Structures are given as structure tokens and as C-alpha cells.
């Protein structure tokens, strides 16, 4: 029991149970729906998950610091629409330049969020709720007609969306999927090993302690918002490539999906808890379940949101009730197994006091 506890944390339990659930969903619906393991469903789910994954990873960075970003949906929408418009005006724009334009726009928007929140000391909820409206109205007020259609784009955009880097028996691996996986690996490593990543956790678990401990909290949070905006800009580019048809309502509500993915994946909205892998597993499970239910029950698309709301509540409740208790058990054994017994650290303090 002790060895299990040493090599195994409650957070990992969450990830294992998500993997288990995903496999269970696969098995169950595979036996219920004909042609469930077809390339079409696979391609559809992976491309959708790829976009939301990139956005949700950015959101997780911010959530870890005990802040929120409710404006990512508007950032994704604005960058997709803005870059789409630019491409329709200048069809000979270099693909790399279009990508940089999207990322730069997102980074700039994230920077504005971060400045208002970390240096202006505006609560993140207020600031990003306001920016959600501002970025969206910037998109609506954008001059010219309010839609971009597939025929406006140069050919490479459309090719990029349906291209496959390699394919195994019809199961395509799309470029967007590879990009999402790369982002996942990078940010999982950053948050797990780099000082910057660990500081995000430190600030989220106890902002006051982090400040007293000398961490430049303002700068770290600012940078987290900038990264979140950058990833949302990248998400906007992927959105544009994947869907082609854009209007002023693109990606509306994506901030809720991103937060849902993170919360289902075990990221705490009180900061300091969660992993990137968890977020991605959460995004994958939500999308898989939605697509499967749509095909299985032949229920209408209208159930999707009602279902998403329920899923968030269930995830948070499980977190509060079960995982909270598990963490208590782990924390207690952590004290007991310390050399010198349970009172080890306390005695040391008493010596100093004497």
C-alpha cells in the first residue's frame, strides 16, 4: 500500500479513469453502432479535438494560476475571420506569413488581457467577460461583408485542411492533429519540468505565498495570458483551415468548451491542480461522447449543450467529493512516512524556538 501511494498520485487516478472511460465508450458504441470504427468518424473527431485541444491547453495555463480566460472564443473567432479576410484580399500571401499573422494577433489580444489583469489588478472574470464582448464586437464591426466563404481562399488553405500527412487504411493523420500533438508535448514538458511551468502551479496553489516567496507573479501571469492568446490565435488559424466558411459567430462559446475540457480533465478552477494530458483527455472524451451519442440515439444536435453542462457538474462534483478525500489520505501518509515520525518537522521548529 505504501509503495502504491509513493508511485501513484490521485491526479493520475483521474487520468487513468479518463483513459478507461474513453476505451469503454469505444467498446460500447462500437458494439452498438454499425461502422463505428470507420475512417470518417475518426477523421472528424480527431480534427475537431485538435482545435479545441490547442485552445484548451492555453486555457489550462491560465486556470493553473487561479485565473480565467473567458475571451478565448472571441480571440479564436477574430483571428480566424481576420486572417480569412486578409487571405481573400491578398491571395498570394505566404502561408507562413498568414500563420504568423494569426499567432501575432492572438498574442496581442492575450497581452492586452494580461496587462489589464496582472498590472491593472482587474479580477480575471470581469476583465475577460468584458474582452469577450469587445473582441466579438471588433469582429462584427470589421468593415466589408460579414462572411468569408471557401471560394475566397487560395487553394493551399483548402488543401491543408483535408490533406493527410500519412494514412493507415483510410485513417488520415491530418496536419492539424500533428500540430495539436506537438503543442501537447511541448506544454506538458513545460508545465512538468521547466521553472516557468512549476511557478504557474506555485502561484495557483497559493498566490500570497508565491508573492512572499519572491516570484514575479505579475510577469508570470501576464505571460500565461499571452501564451493563452497565442494558442487561441493558432486555434483560430486551424479553425479557418478546417472549416473554410466563416461568419461573425465563429467559435462562439468555445471558451466554455475549453473550460469544460480542462475541468473534466481534472484541472481545478481554484488553480494549482491539473495537467495538460488531463485536459486533452477531457477534450477527447467530451467530443467522442458527443459524436457517439448523436449517432446512437439519433438525438438532435440540441442535446449537446445540455449534456455538456451536466458533464462539467459531474466532473467538478467528483473532484470535490472523491479526489478531495483521496488527496487528504495521501497528504496524511506523506506526513507519517517522513523520517522522525509524524511530528518530525514540528519538533525541529520547537528546537529553534527553544
Partner 1 sequence: MLRKLEWLKSWESLLLAILVVVVGFNAVSTPHYLQVGNLINLFHLHIEEIIVALIMTFIIINAEIDLSVGSVMGLAGCVMAFMWERKVPIEIGIAAALLTGVLVGAFNGFMVSYVGLTSLVVTLAGLIGYRGLAHVLLEDRSIGNFPEWFDRLGQQPLVGPVPLALIAFFVMLVIALVVLQNSGFGRYVYVIGNSKDAARYSGVNVRRVKMTLYIASGLISAFAGLLLAARLGSMRGDTATGTELTVITMVVLGGVSIFGGSGSLYGVLLSILIVLNLRNGMGLLNISGDTQTGVIGALLILSVLVPNITREVRDIWSRRHRAQRVQVVKEQKGG
- Cβ of residue 158: shortest distance to partner 1, in angstroms? 29
Q: Using the minimum distance from each CB to partner 1, give the nearer residue, 133 or 186.
A: 133
* 98 binds partner 1 per the rule CB under 8 A: no
Q: Which helix (H) or strand (E) holds 49?
A: helix 39-64
Q: Which stretch binds partner 1 (CB under 8 A): 179-187, 216-224, 227-235, 311-319?
A: 311-319
Stretches 84-92, 199-207, 278-286, 307-315: which one binds partner 1 (CB under 8 A)?
307-315
Tell me the DSSP string of 252-291.
TTHHHHHHHHHHHTT--TTSS---HHHHHHHHHHHHHHHH
Complex with partner 1: residue 316 or 326, whichever CB lies closer:
316
CB nearer partner 1, residue 23 or residue 310:
310
Largest distance between two CA atoms of the chain: 80
Closest approach of Cβ 173 to partner 1, in Å? 31
What letter would DSSP give residue 94?
Answer: -
Shorter beta-carbon distance to partner 1: residue 305 or 342: 305
CB of 290 to partner 1, least distance (A): 12
Site for partner 1 in 261-300 (CB under 8 A): 263, 269-270, 300
Whichever of 31 and 300 has its CB closer to partner 1, that residue is: 300
- Separation CA 338–CA 79 (nearest Å): 52
Residue from 181, 316, 323, 326 binding partner 1 (CB under 8 A): 316
Chain positions 16 to 75 lying near partner 1, rule: CB under 8 A, are 68
Residue of 35, 170, 213, 309 that binds partner 1 (CB under 8 A)? 309
Is residue 296 within 8 A of residue 33, CB to CB? The reply is yes
Closest to partner 1 by CB, 45 or 129: 129
Selected from 189, 194, 313, 322, the binder of partner 1 by CB under 8 A is 313
226-255 footprint of partner 1 as x/- string (CB under 8 A): ----------------------x----x--
Could you tell me how many residues of this chain bind partner 1 (CB under 8 A)?
44
DSSP 154: -
Of 182, 310, 329, 335, which one interacts with partner 1 (CB under 8 A)? 310
Note whether 208 binds partner 1 by CB under 8 A.
no
Please provide the size of the chain in residues: 354
Could you give the string, one character per residue 104-143, with x where binding to partner 1 holds by CB under 8 A and - elsewhere? ------------x---xxxx-xxx-xxxxxx-xxx-xx--
How far apart CA 331 and CA 329 sit, in angstroms, is 5
Q: Which stretch in 15-23, 94-102, 153-161, 259-267 sits in contact with partner 1 by CB under 8 A?
A: 259-267
- Chain positions contacting partner 1, by CB under 8 A: 68, 116, 120-123, 125-127, 129-134, 136-138, 140-141, 248, 253, 256, 259-260, 263, 269-270, 300, 302-310, 312-313, 316-317, 320-321
Amino acid at each position: 500500500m505504501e509503495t502504491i501511494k509513493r508511485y501513484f498520485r490521485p491526479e493520475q487516478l483521474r487520468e487513468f479513469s479518463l483513459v478507461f472511460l474513453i476505451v469503454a465508450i469505444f467498446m460500447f458504441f462500437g458494439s452498438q453502432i454499425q461502422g463505428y470504427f470507420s475512417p470518417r468518424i475518426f477523421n472528424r473527431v480527431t480534427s475537431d479535438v485538435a482545435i479545441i485541444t490547442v485552445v484548451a491547453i492555453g486555457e489550462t495555463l491560465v486556470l493553473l494560476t487561479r485565473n480565467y480566460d473567458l475571451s478565448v472564443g472571441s480571440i479564436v473567432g477574430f483571428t480566424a475571420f481576420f486572417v480569412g479576410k486578409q487571405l481573400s484580399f491578398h491571395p498570394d500571401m505566404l502561408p507562413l506569413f498568414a500563420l504568423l499573422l494569426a499567432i501575432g494577433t492572438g498574442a496581442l489580444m492575450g497581452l492586452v488581457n494580461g496587462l489589464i489583469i496582472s498590472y491593472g489588478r482587474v479580477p480575471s472574470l470581469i476583465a475577460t467577460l468584458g474582452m469577450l464582448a469587445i473582441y466579438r464586437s471588433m469582429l462584427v464591426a470589421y468593415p466589408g461583408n460579414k462572411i468569408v466563404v471557401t471560394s475566397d481562399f487560395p487553394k493551399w488553405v483548402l488543401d491543408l485542411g483535408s490533406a493527410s500527412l500519412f494514412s493507415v487504411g483510410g485513417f488520415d493523420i491530418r496536419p492539424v492533429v500533428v500540430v495539436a500533438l506537438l503543442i501537447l508535448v511541448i506544454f506538458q514538458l513545460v508545465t512538468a519540468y521547466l521553472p516557468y511551468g512549476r511557478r504557474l502551479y506555485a502561484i495557483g496553489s497559493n498566490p500570497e505565498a508565491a508573492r512572499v516567496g519572491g516570484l514575479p507573479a505579475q510577469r508570470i501571469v501576464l505571460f500565461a495570458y499571452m501564451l493563452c492568446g497565442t494558442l487561441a490565435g493558432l486555434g483560430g488559424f486551424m479553425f479557418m483551415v478546417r472549416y473554410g466558411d466563416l461568419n461573425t459567430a465563429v467559435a462562439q462559446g468555445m471558451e466554455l468548451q475549453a473550460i469544460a475540457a480542462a475541468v473534466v480533465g481534472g484541472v481545478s478552477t481554484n488553480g494549482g491542480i491539473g495537467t495538460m494530458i488531463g485536459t486533452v483527455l477531457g477534450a477527447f472524451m467530451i467530443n467522442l461522447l458527443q459524436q457517439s451519442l448523436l449517432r446512437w440515439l439519433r438525438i438532435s444536435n440540441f442535446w449537446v449543450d445540455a449534456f455538456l453542462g451536466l458533464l462539467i457538474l459531474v466532473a467538478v462534483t467528483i473532484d470535490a467529493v472523491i479526489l478531495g478525500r483521496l488527496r487528504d489520505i495521501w497528504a496524511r501518509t506523506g506526513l507519517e512516512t517522513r523520517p522522525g515520525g509524524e511530528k518530525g518537522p514540528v519538533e525541529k521548529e520547537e528546537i529553534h524556538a527553544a
